[in-house]
Amino acid sequence: MSAVHRGQGSSVALVERLVLGSFASPSGLTRRELEELTGLSRTVVAGVVASLVTRGELAETHQQPTGGGPGRPPTRYQRTALLPPVLLIQLRKDWSTSVSSLRGDGIRSEALGCAPWPEEWRTWSQSVKEAADRLRGWAQLPPRLAVLSAPFPVAKARRALRQHGAAAEDLKAAGRRLPPRPAWLEKDPRPALSGLLGCTALMVNDANLAALGEAWFGAGRGRRAVFHICVADGIGAGFVFDGRLFTGAHGFSGELAHVQVTPDGPGCVCGNRGCLITHAAVRGVCGRLAAGDMSELGSLVGCAVAPLVTMLDPDCVVVDARLAEGCGPFIAGVTAEVERRCPPDLAGSLTVVAGELEDAERYGALAAADAHAAAQVSEAAWPGSPPAVRGRA
């Protein structure tokens, strides 16, 4: 194993993530190729691959003999997260809905627009079903799973919490109100959505999905504790530990926009005052900030992130790849505040990097599908046991 990976620990979970992170397409890899990519020994690779196959995170692909030599060709392994297709249903911050079909080889279908998500179930679900049927024809395969991406906190991936993400004064000035929460989001929407689409449905916060995507497939690969910050279309965050999302007791983990940075600041829709989202530099973020403004924004976000760094001790903070050239000054602002507010040893060991995935949410949906498949296999192997016993779920 390389020095960088040795420095991050040698737990089984990290070695497994190193192997899983080597899969970049559905074409698959042999164990020999995995040895070369990871630097792990033949024995370690064989043991890890066997464990991942048992858990359902890798699938064997037996190739036909080519006639080019004696014996059977080596078995190739595919990562189940990269097997097509997965439906991604995105409830967007502007209240629109889009549906797309995802493939792990980087191909994504056209995003089809649907009825706004504040509509009642009958109207909304019919438009989603029509879009899903069109995409099924494109993929020529039924979806194996649907991921509902939500722009608000999700309580244990089952139902929507009160909607957040805007300053009260902004909504008032624009003559806008929060959309009424439809009845279908007052309860767990997954059973109805599963029945509608004919496949298992998950519901995950959009910023959490982006964090999962960067942790599994992007700049957080091989890291144990990854904190991801969404900035390009509003402030959000997600925390991934040992490849698993941490969403908190009530689904509110990662709501960075509602960390209080000025106790006497403006009112916020969450009911508090002086939240990060109420600052002018944060409210104007959506692609309109210059490099100098990005530095200021990074400082504000750093004020909110610093106590979380002290409490959670991540080894990596990944910044929204969609900031493009704005990533540098934004990271500088965050780093300066972390160094000023956190214990020196902790701040010195933290890595703050630009993200690699402009569509991290899409990759997060693939990772969520992988994690769900692994959880199903683990539940079958150890029914009734807690996740800590079953491994990653």
Whether 253 shows a pLDDT value over 90: the answer reads no
pLDDT at 330: 94
The hierarchical CATH code for the domain 86-207 is 3.30.420.40
| Domain parsing of the chain, residue ranges | 3-82, 86-207, 224-361
CA 21 – CA 42 distance, rounded (Å):
17
Whether 46 shows a pLDDT value over 50: the answer reads yes
Residue 267, by phi and psi: left (phi above 0), alpha (psi -120 to 50) or beta? beta
pLDDT at 7: 39
pLDDT at 288: 54
Whether 137 shows a pLDDT value over 50: the answer reads yes
- What does the pLDDT look like over 160-202, one tens digit per residue? 545 444 444 444 544 455 566 788 988 889 999 999 999 999 9
Whether 377 shows a pLDDT value over 90: the answer reads no
Query: What class, spelled out in words, does domain 3-82 have in CATH?
Result: mainly alpha
φ, ψ of residue 33 in degrees (nearest 5):
-65, -35
Arithmetic mean of pLDDT, 332-351: 95
Same fold, 3-82 and 224-361: no
Predicted TM-score of the model (pTM): 0.75
Q: Which CATH superfamily is domain 224-361 in?
A: ATPase, nucleotide binding domain (3.30.420.40)
DSSP secondary structure, 77-140, as one string: EEEGGGSS-EEEEEE-TTS-EEEEEE-TTS-BPPPEEES-TTS-HHHHHHHHHHHHHHHHHHHT
- Comparing 35-39, 95-99, 331-335, 375-379, which segment has the lowest mean pLDDT? 375-379
CA 75 – CA 180 distance, rounded (Å):
53
Radius of gyration of the chain (CA): 22
Q: Which amino acid is at 361?
A: E
Q: Model confidence at 391, in pLDDT bands (50, 70, 90)?
A: very low
Q: β-strands 225-230, 76-79: how paired?
A: unpaired
Tokens 């925390």 sit on residue? 239
Which is more confident, 269 or 245?
245
Which is more confident, 392 or 23?
23
Q: Which amino acid is at 4?
A: V
